[in-house]
Structure 1
Amino acid sequence: MPTWTNWSGSVTATPRQLCSPASEEEVAAIVREAAASGRSVRAAGSGHSFVPVVPADDVILSLDALAGLLDADPASGRATLFAGTKLRDATRLLWERGLALPNQGDVDTQALAGAIATGTHGTGPAYGSISTRLAAARVVTADGALLDVDDPALLPAFRVSLGLLGIFTRITLACVPRYALRERVWQHPIDACLEELAANIAANDHYEFFWFPRSGIAESKSLNPVDEIPEREEPPPLDGPGERTGWSHRIYPSARDLRFNEMEYAVPAEAGPACFAAVRQRMVERHPKVGWPVEYRTLAADDAWLSPAFGRPTVTISVHQAAERPYREFFTDLEPIFRDFGGRPHWGKFHTCARADLAAMYPRFEAFCALRRQLDPAGRFLSPYLAPLFA
């Protein structure tokens, strides 16, 4: 039987069928065939989720071959791409047409569909996740039909939907004119970083910090737009403290050569500093050997039903552990702290929330589940991991 593995190696699956369709019609045919035989189907992007959102017993459908730019209109800012296009490729294609995303995260290896389905985000209190840029989509429904979604009343449900409402085949993004950023990276003691935290968030379009627990040092990073036009697409490398300027789609991402597992929770913005302080104290007291950094970012409120930033300005705090090391005990020891501060988990990262927990966290959770049942009454797009949460 074929084997599918996620990026970090923490999740593997042996489905009956692993396929990589190269057209929307092929995707629809695979879903129709699965429906006729009563089988489940899960779509896979780049496998950058750290939890088993993809694995299915029956069919895993890779979107790798469904990639490329379909249309881009600089006048309207709208661009349509196939859903399997990797973010790195998508942003380059947009740049070639004079467009860009207004914000990105520091990883750009995800498939566009997966980034939207799980709420991938960058940092900046005025900026939402990539999901908030979804202006329209085409999905393959549970019966194998093609459905175009552009109804403003429905888009908030599809923006973070984990592939449960249909399989994305094409995605239309609301973009902005391409722009350049100046990146600045500096190091300072964590206490100094926290004293300057509010000021740094307010003074920069994009600001984040990483706390390195063994050293007590924080590495801060700010990104701000500049008017100068870079001479080339690829900016000069920046390894460690310093400054550089380049096109936004090449400045946002950072190299991720070492593999890891991750837990991230989104807490109300006003609770961010206190939540981080509690996480820091527990790590110092109980987990002094953990060397991987803790990441602190900001995120604007949005209206996506399953977004961790739904209805509230947000701070996200992420903890990491090397892929080859045990992580579950470490993560589960910290998770109650995030929950105590009103946290909501990132859908693609480790958490232990049950359905009742999620229903209490997300005001539109039951509405989403009702829509899922309406669009997929047979549970074609459910999986062993997702069924207890959304059936």
Structure 2
Amino acid sequence: MSTFSNFAGTVTSTPLVRRSIGSLDQLAESLDAAQLAGHSVRTIGAGHSFTALAQTDQVLLDLDGFAGIEEVDALSHEVTFRAGTRLWQIPALLKPFGLALENMGDIDKQSIAGAISTGTHGTGLKFTGFSGTVTGIQLMLADGSRVRTSKSENAQLFEAARLSLGALGVITHVRLRCVPAFMMHAVESIEPIESLTRSFIERAALEDHLEFFWFPGSPRAQVKINTRLPADTERNAPGPVARWVNDELLSNGALQALCSLGAAAPRLNDRLSRFASRVLSDRSYTAHWHEAFVSPRRVKFTEQEYALPLQHFQPAMEELRRYFSSAPSPVLFPIEVRTASADDVWLSTANGRDCVYIAVHRYIRDAAPKYFADIEALLRPLGGRPHWGKEHSLKAEDFAQLYPRFTEFRQLRSAVDPEGRFLNGYLRSLLGAG
């Protein structure tokens, strides 16, 4: 037996069986064995979720050995990936075909199946999260049967499988809508948080990709704007030394040092936040799409993220600023704000509405147990939906109020997995499953 631990080290378990899958035959054998033994099955990608979605003391499977591209449609630009493909592998896989992902977040460690199963997203009101770009999914169900799904084939199952939390079966293939490759011009600048809050939603509608990072309670924020350019645009990006200084030494090394100091002496957090916001600097560069989207994240943290209707962004920021002004900040880690276009994915946080995401983080050594609960209490009344892979306190009865298709998802899950083979205790609390 080997111990499983997520990225932050906050969720651990010791599965009875842990197996790396390299083929569909191996997967079928593992599911057959689990069924005979009466064991539940969970799958794991990078372990980058902060919740207990993958936690199990029975069977844990990873599909790292089942990666790569199986099919590319030259006309539609739809690409079928094996489920274990990691996001960081995709740029090199797509390069020979002159293609790119429509959008990405700033972390690329996840598997493609894990990314769509938890609602991973980037930023930009012209773009959906990963699940919204899915045009086909292949699953292996608990009985070993292989099912193809799309808008025209097993359509109901497809709608549920686009964001399923791994509760329907094991995803084996994901077909994504891709786009012609492009370059990106990235601009990072420091702006006053007050004026940024007033203009952010309007600017987000105009820019390709806009986001900002705000150290709690500080008067300034770091703003990042990525603008899409033709694929033949000349690359003008920092060299390896300059990139290391900015991304590793300043962004990760300095953040690690500040977070460690703040965890040891929380009374200093406000001053440290102001210091951090003052020393951040402007920069701009032109790079390949994936280089501009992704940033290294070395400092260990936990995270909570809520998706709000766009019109509730300013009230949310006013609540947050009031919260941080009323008492010393309990944390130092920056708050991240992004947007996404509405989609029709049943369990997507952007289902039926354009949304703004507010993500709060805690350094893993921060002694601030009430922080996430406090922020959740501010954002839930504003129509907030929590990210499925990040910390929250909601249960099935809450989700039934937040998602119009939640009951249909539960019914379909019960139909395809009546024995609850793909459930764990955490999922039972989320879905209200017996």
> When the two structures are superposed, what TM-score results if normalisation uses the length of structure 2?
0.86
Write the deviation string for residues 94-123 of structure 1: whole angstroms up to 9, x where unpaired. 133211111111111111110000010011
Q: Which residue of 2 aligns with 1:33?
A: 33
Q: Which residue of 1 aligns with 2:267?
A: none
Q: Which residue of 2 aligns with 1:132?
A: 132
Q: Which residue of 1 aligns with 2:146?
A: 146
Cα pair 2:236 2:285 within 8 Å, conserved: no
Cα pair 1:51 1:350 within 8 Å, conserved: yes
The alignment partner of 1:301 has SS state of coil
Q: d(CA) in 2 for partners of 1:148 and 1:74?
A: 21
The alignment partner of 1:164 has SS state of coil
Q: Which residue of 1 aligns with 2:230?
A: 227
The alignment partner of 1:168 has SS state of strand
Q: d(CA) in 1 for partners of 2:331 and 2:426?
A: 28
More deviation in 57-66 or 341-350?
57-66
Q: Where is the helix percentage greater, Structure 1 or Structure 2?
A: 2
Cα pair 2:135 2:151 within 8 Å, conserved: no
Q: d(CA) in 1 for partners of 2:353 and 2:301?
A: 29
2:292 is the counterpart of 1:245:
no
2:417 is the counterpart of 1:376:
yes
Tell me how far 1:230 sits from its aligned partner.
4.9
Q: d(CA) in 2 for partners of 1:349 and 1:317?
A: 12
Q: Which residue of 1 aligns with 2:344?
A: 303
Tell me how far 1:281 sits from its aligned partner.
1.7
TM-aligned CA distance change 1:140 to 1:232, over 3 Å: farther
Q: d(CA) in 1 for partners of 2:132 and 2:360?
A: 24
**Residue type of the alignment partner of 2:83:** A
Write the deviation string for residues 262-314 of structure 1: whole angstroms up to 9, x where unpaired. 00011111111211221232133245141111111111111111111111111
Write the deviation string for residues 156-199 of structure 1: whole angstroms up to 9, x where unpaired. 21111111111111111111111111111000121122233234
Q: Which residue of 1 aligns with 2:199?
A: 196
The alignment partner of 1:385 has SS state of helix
Q: Which residue of 1 aligns with 2:17?
A: 17
More deviation in 345-354 or 1-10?
1-10
The alignment partner of 1:171 has SS state of strand
Q: Which residue of 2 aligns with 1:313?
A: 354
**Residue type of the alignment partner of 1:36:** L
Q: Which residue of 2 aligns with 1:351?
A: 392
Q: Which residue of 2 aligns with 1:43?
A: 43
Q: d(CA) in 1 for partners of 2:330 and 2:377?
A: 20
2:186 is the counterpart of 1:183:
yes
For residues 73-112 of structure 1, the aligned pairs below 5 Å read 73-112=73-112
Cα pair 2:236 2:286 within 8 Å, conserved: no
Q: d(CA) in 1 for partners of 2:238 and 2:38?
A: 50
For residues 248-327 of structure 1, the aligned pairs below 5 Å read 248-327=289-368
**Residue type of the alignment partner of 2:117:** A
Q: Which of 354, 364, 373 is the matching residue for 1:332?
A: 373
Q: d(CA) in 2 for partners of 1:375 and 1:291?
A: 45
> When the two structures are superposed, what TM-score results if normalisation uses the length of structure 1?
0.96
**Residue type of the alignment partner of 2:309:** P
**Residue type of the alignment partner of 2:199:** E
Cα pair 1:135 1:172 within 8 Å, conserved: yes
Segments of structure 2 that go 5 or more residues without pairing to the other structure are 248-280
Tell me how far 1:235 sits from its aligned partner.
6.6
Tell me how far 1:233 sits from its aligned partner.
11
**Residue type of the alignment partner of 2:84:** G
Write the deviation string for residues 312-335 of structure 1: whole angstroms up to 9, x where unpaired. 111110000112324542101111
Write the deviation string for residues 124-150 of structure 1: whole angstroms up to 9, x where unpaired. 112100111111111110112211112
Q: Which residue of 1 aligns with 2:8?
A: 8
* Number of residue-to-residue matches in the alignment: 391
Tell me how far 1:59 sits from its aligned partner.
0.3
The alignment partner of 1:366 has SS state of helix
Cα pair 1:74 1:98 within 8 Å, conserved: no
The percentage of counterpart residues that share the same residue type is 39
The alignment partner of 1:302 has SS state of coil
Tell me how far 1:214 sits from its aligned partner.
4.8
Q: Which residue of 2 aligns with 1:208?
A: 211
The alignment partner of 1:149 has SS state of strand
Q: d(CA) in 2 for partners of 1:175 and 1:224?
A: 18
**Residue type of the alignment partner of 1:94:** L
Q: d(CA) in 2 for partners of 1:137 and 1:327?
A: 40
Cα pair 2:217 2:324 within 8 Å, conserved: no
2:56 is the counterpart of 1:53:
no
The alignment partner of 1:378 has SS state of coil
Tell me how far 1:228 sits from its aligned partner.
5.8
**Which is greater in Rg?**
2
Cα pair 1:287 1:330 within 8 Å, conserved: no
More deviation in 263-272 or 228-237?
228-237
Q: d(CA) in 1 for partners of 2:176 and 2:238?
A: 25
Segments of structure 1 that go 5 or more residues without pairing to the other structure are none
**Residue type of the alignment partner of 1:30:** S
Tell me how far 1:33 sits from its aligned partner.
1.2
Cα pair 1:355 1:389 within 8 Å, conserved: yes
**Residue type of the alignment partner of 2:191:** H
TM-aligned CA distance change 1:63 to 1:106, over 3 Å: same
For residues 58-73 of structure 1, the aligned pairs below 5 Å read 58-73=58-73
Tell me how far 1:38 sits from its aligned partner.
1.1
Q: d(CA) in 2 for partners of 1:235 and 1:100?
A: 22
Q: d(CA) in 1 for partners of 2:170 and 2:366?
A: 33
